[in-house]
């Protein structure tokens, strides 16, 4: 069988297919594996895991389901969400069995409980997962071949069935004949024309996506009769460094950071859903805000060190000194931080109703980074069923054609919760791998 795309969904599919006895060729148009998964910083959402239980967190797939449906404004396809939330704990266990460290549990916006699983030192989850998947693929070299700088251009069909692909490789066009095809090409967040076509209000926005996320798989699937769903549903991530496209992980807010405007005041519950926080930031003067946190937050989240090395962070010995460096009112920012610390102590945010306030901002040094929304995730894509089979407009499956990850639509509805993308790619990547392998064996 052939897998198009070597990000998290593609390698999860390839490794699972190999575990089920298949021989797999993976084609990847970029010069390296990883796709957008390499940029994932938060965690893998899963509910009812032993890691949550060890922390005294009472959670369940049902609560995860309700959060996901609510976050997606109930536009999500319920059976796809059920599949994701029910299979996510097994996906975490599977990744850990491959060597990934996912023992830390944090919270993301829109979640009732802390359920984002990531490395215990607070480093980014994406590189950790890709390292484990790459090692697993390398261990099955006799079954899995990965071709880099090889761009799939067409899905080959015969008698209504997917039977391979055409691709442009380093040395010209190649053809891969296969008994099953899995699309794991990601979304189209790095294709500004496609973004503007489906969502004109996002024309000119920066993106957090890697350059390969240009919607190729969606275009190829459409050409062989695949149905598309909810293409207009495009998410912005609220905390992206202006003009640089570097995303500041939601984990910073989960650890206790606050958002303030140029008047030095909070203006939103920082852990609301991404669309709500994005909209609130765009309403502020200059269309940006400052993410403010203290040394304790930095100590708790290793991912912040990357931002420091990149020169994105302003630091100071006191809140007043920080305000001065940011050119905002010193007294106003000091009053805002004092008020927030009072809310933490009282366990009630009287201003914006923030439910998860991990700790007061009291430990010097103090830090800030300017942020604004940018195109982050395309919720729409190819229609699939719970078997990860690609569907036609009439709802029937295209035989031999499967898809997983951001190339698909319907899982996240009108807005994706942080931590659900990684759950989505691994859960449906595994399902696609398993069912494609079964299809290949039966032919």
CATH of the domain at 326: 3.90.700.10
**Residue 51 resides in a domain:** yes
CA angle 373, 68, 240 (to 5 degrees): 15
Shared-domain flag, residues 255 and 273: yes
**Residue 202 resides in a domain:** no
**Residue 212 resides in a domain:** no
Shared-domain flag, residues 26 and 172: yes
Write out the chain's pLDDT in tens, 443 residues: 999 999 999 999 999 999 999 999 999 999 999 999 999 988 999 999 999 999 999 999 999 999 999 999 999 999 999 999 999 999 999 999 999 999 999 998 899 999 999 999 989 999 999 999 999 999 999 999 999 999 999 999 999 999 999 999 999 999 999 999 999 999 999 999 999 999 999 998 899 999 999 999 999 999 999 999 999 999 999 999 998 989 999 999 999 999 999 999 999 999 999 999 999 999 999 999 999 999 999 999 999 999 999 999 999 999 999 999 999 999 999 999 999 999 999 999 999 999 999 899 999 999 999 999 999 999 999 999 999 999 999 999 999 999 999 999 999 999 999 999 999 999 999 999 999 999 988 86
- The whole-angstrom separation of Cα 218 and Cα 369 is 35
Shared-domain flag, residues 105 and 89: yes
Answer with the one of 374, 400, 424 that is the final residue of a domain: 374
**Residue 72 resides in a domain:** yes
Across-strand partners of 236?
375
- At 186 the pLDDT is 98
Answer with the one of 356, 374, 392 that is the final residue of a domain: 374
Shared-domain flag, residues 393 and 370: no
Instruction: State the residue range of the domain holding 75.
Output: 2-189+379-442
Shared-domain flag, residues 183 and 297: no
**Residue 257 resides in a domain:** yes
Shared-domain flag, residues 249 and 334: yes
- At 122 the pLDDT is 87
Q: Read off the pTM.
A: 0.88
**Residue 207 resides in a domain:** no
- Other C-beta atoms lying within 10 Å of the C-beta of residue 210: 20
Shared-domain flag, residues 390 and 291: no
- Other C-beta atoms lying within 10 Å of the C-beta of residue 387: 16
Give the DSSP H or E segment for 166. strand 161-169
**Residue 178 resides in a domain:** yes
**Residue 194 resides in a domain:** no
| Length of the chain counted residue by residue | 443
**Residue 149 carries which DSSP code?**
S
- At 109 the pLDDT is 84
Shared-domain flag, residues 370 and 383: no
Shared-domain flag, residues 350 and 387: no
- At 196 the pLDDT is 96
Answer with the one of 358, 374, 390 that is the final residue of a domain: 374
The count of domains in the chain is: 2
Which of 386, 382, 381, 384 has its CA nearest to residue 431? Answer: 386
Contacts of 182 (CB under 8 A, 6+ apart): 1, 2, 3, 4, 10, 13, 17, 388, 402, 403, 404, 432, 433, 436
Domain containing residue 413: CATH number:
3.50.50.60
Shared-domain flag, residues 171 and 68: yes
Instruction: Indicate the SS3 state at residue 41.
Output: coil
Shared-domain flag, residues 35 and 136: yes
Contact of 183 with 172, CB cutoff 8 Å: no
Active site members = 274
- At 443 the pLDDT is 64
Shared-domain flag, residues 390 and 359: no
């Amino acid at each position: 069988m052939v897998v198009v795309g070597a990000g998290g969904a593609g390698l999860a599919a390839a490794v699972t297919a190999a575990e089920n006895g298949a021989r797999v060729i993976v084609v990847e148009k970029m010069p390296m594996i990883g796709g957008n998964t390499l940029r994932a910083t938060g965690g893998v959402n899963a509910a009812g895991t032993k890691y949550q239980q060890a922390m005294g967190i009472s959670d369940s797939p049902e609560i995860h389901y309700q959060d996901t449906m609510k976050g997606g404004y109930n536009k999500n396809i319920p059976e796809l969400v059920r599949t994701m939330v029910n299979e996510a704990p097994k996906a975490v266990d599977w990744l850990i069995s491959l060597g990934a460290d996912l023992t830390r549990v944090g919270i993301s916006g829109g979640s009732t409980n802390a359920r984002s699983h990531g490395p215990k030192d607070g480093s980014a989850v994406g590189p950790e997962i890709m390292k484990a998947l790459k090692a697993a693929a390398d261990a099955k070299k006799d079954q899995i071949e990965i071709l880099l700088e090889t761009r799939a251009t067409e899905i080959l069909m015969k008698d209504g069935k997917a039977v391979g692909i055409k691709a442009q490789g380093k040395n010209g066009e190649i053809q891969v004949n296969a008994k099953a095809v899995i699309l794991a090409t990601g979304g189209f967040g790095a294709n500004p024309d496609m973004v503007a076509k489906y969502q004109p209000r996002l024309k000119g926005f920066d993106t957090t996506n890697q350059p390969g996320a240009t919607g190729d798989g969606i275009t190829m699937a459409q050409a062989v009769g695949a149905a598309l769903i909810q293409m207009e549903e495009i998410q912005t991530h609220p905390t992206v460094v202006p003009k640089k496209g570097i995303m500041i992980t939601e984990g910073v807010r989960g650890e206790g950071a606050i958002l303030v405007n140029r008047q030095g005041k909070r203006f939103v519950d920082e852990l609301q859903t991404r669309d709500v926080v994005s909209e609130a930031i765009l309403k502020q003067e200059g269309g940006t805000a400052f993410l403010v946190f203290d040394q304790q937050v930095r100590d708790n989240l290793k991912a912040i060190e990357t931002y420091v090395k990149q020169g994105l962070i302003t630091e100071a010995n006191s809140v007043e000194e920080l305000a001065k460096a940011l050119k905002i009112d010193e007294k106003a920012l000091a009053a805002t931080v004092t008020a927030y610390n009072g809310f933490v102590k009282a366990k009630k945010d009287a201003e914006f109703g923030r439910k998860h306030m991990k700790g007061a901002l009291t430990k010097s040094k103090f830090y800030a980074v300017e942020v604004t929304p940018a195109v982050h995730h395309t919720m729409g894509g190819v229609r699939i069923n719970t078997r990860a089979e690609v569907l036609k407009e009439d709802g029937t499956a295209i035989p031999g054609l499967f898809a997983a990850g951001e190339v698909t639509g319907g899982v996240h509805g009108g807005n994706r919760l942080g931590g659900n993308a990684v759950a989505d790619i691994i859960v449906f990547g595994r399902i696609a791998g398993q069912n494609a392998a079964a299809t290949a064996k039966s032919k």
